[in-house]
Amino acid sequence: MRKVPFITTTIFALSCFSASASLGENQLDKGKVTAGGKPVTLLGSGVATGDQAPNFKVVNADFTPVTLSQFEGQAVLISVVPSLDTGICSLQTKYFNEKVASNYPNIAMLTISTDLPFAQKRFCKQENVDKVQTLSDAVWRNFGEQYGLLIKDMGLLSRAVFILDKDHKVKYKQLISNLASEPNYQEVIDTLKTL
């Protein structure tokens, strides 16, 4: 048995704990999300439709930092999932990759989760996800903090979809009320058509 993965996992878990311990509760979306029929507490700032989207810092499959500002002048769809290793998150990511991304080539399509980049890379290879860019919030939890989506005591992001216009104003926000449900894809597509 190798010792390094355990140490890495332990350090990762401790960093998740310390990051979430210092965040305040998202008052904007308080009481709006449930898991297994019970409400969950979302940590971070929270954003509303019409807000200027906060910049964020995540990493790609190579642990290279990626920020929202890198998509300057481009509309952005952000699909947020708790973990790509779960059925609904997989369906959501594959839907945007297979049914949406090719119809809107000028819109940056991002999927953000707290999965480690290694797991995201493996998922994309196994599921042929090649049009949506998967990004990890595992390192700094900065996206979860800025958008108010970090689930307290779980270290996961709440399921959501955001559409930002070319000026990165939040044109559309869908916070899925039940973590076990898929987004309303038609609403997302209808909004994309207006960009």
Known catalytic residues? 89
Strands (E), 23-155: 34-35, 38-39, 42-43, 57-59, 65-67, 76-80, 108-113, 133-136, 150-151
Report the amino acid identity of residue 126.
Q
As a whole number of angstroms, the distance between CA 178 and CA 176 comes to 6
Compute CA distances 161 → 1, 76, 152, whole Å.
Answer: 40, 11, 19
Residue indicated by tokens 């595992």: 138
